[in-house]
Homo-oligomer: A and B are copies of this chain.
Amino acid sequence: MARTAGSHSDITGPRIREAALRLFAEHGYAAVSMRQIAAEVGVQAGALYNYTADKQSLLAGLMRGHLEELLAERAAEETGPDPLARLDAFTRFHIRYHLERPEAVFIAYMELRNLSPDNFREIEVLRHAYETELETVLQDGVAQGVFDVPDPKVATLAVIAMLTGVTTWYRDTGRLSRDEVAETYCGMVRRLVGC
């Protein structure tokens, strides 16, 4: 759609972030130019700088937004006291959330190298907070004698890597539905923790 000089648009900001998310996920941060993002939105490159200080801030904002939303939605989930129920809930939540936002997930894992040192530290804190959610479940399960996990720290990283990997192969047009995939992983995770 043609756009005219001087037109106002309070939704340009979100549209820029959506376009950047899509393009960064597809081609990688370094391979995407500000011109490409602007063209996707339908403005000139210079206009982007009304919404972001620079390209680096645009990337950091996307990653921070993704991880903050991940933590917020996780915190909003009801969690009872039973470690096994909490483990299942984490597995289902992680898979559902990641399959719903494959682009944000992809960027959050692949573009860490392209963050400035300050932004990197900030993002790592958020990521570690999320990993701690699962580690706590595993430790509680071990303490209660429900799980058998020799090394909860390593198991945490192993399970998260396993679950996140689903985004690399899952297709909605494939053999399994999202729920079926989640159930399959639930079973594998349960067994992995000796339950």
Chain B: CB-nearest residue to A193: B191
Asked if A30 CB lies within 8 Å of chain B CBs, one says: yes
Asked if A31 CB lies within 8 Å of chain B CBs, one says: yes
Q: Which of A61-69, A96-104, A157-165 participates in binding chain B?
A: A157-165
Cα separation A109 to B169 with both chains bound (whole Å): 13
Cα separation A110 to B31 with both chains bound (whole Å): 13
Q: Which of B31, B155, B169 contacts A114 (CB 8 A)?
A: B31
A187 in contact with B150 given A30-B30, A161-B165, A192-B192 (CB within 8 Å):
yes
Interface class of chain A by DSSP: helix
Contact (Cβ within 8 A) A184 B150: yes
Q: Which residues of B contact A114 (CB under 8 A)?
A: 27-28, 31
The count of residues in chain A whose C-beta lies closer than 8 Å to any C-beta of chain B is 34
Q: Which of B154, B159, B187, B194 contacts A181 (CB 8 A)?
A: B154
Chain B: CB-nearest residue to A153: B175
Contact (Cβ within 8 A) B184 A188: no
A27-B113, A28-B113, A161-B162 known; 12 new pairs, CB 8 Å cut-off, are A28-B114, A30-B30, A30-B31, A150-B187, A154-B185, A155-B188, A157-B165, A157-B169, A159-B162, A162-B162, A191-B193, A191-B194
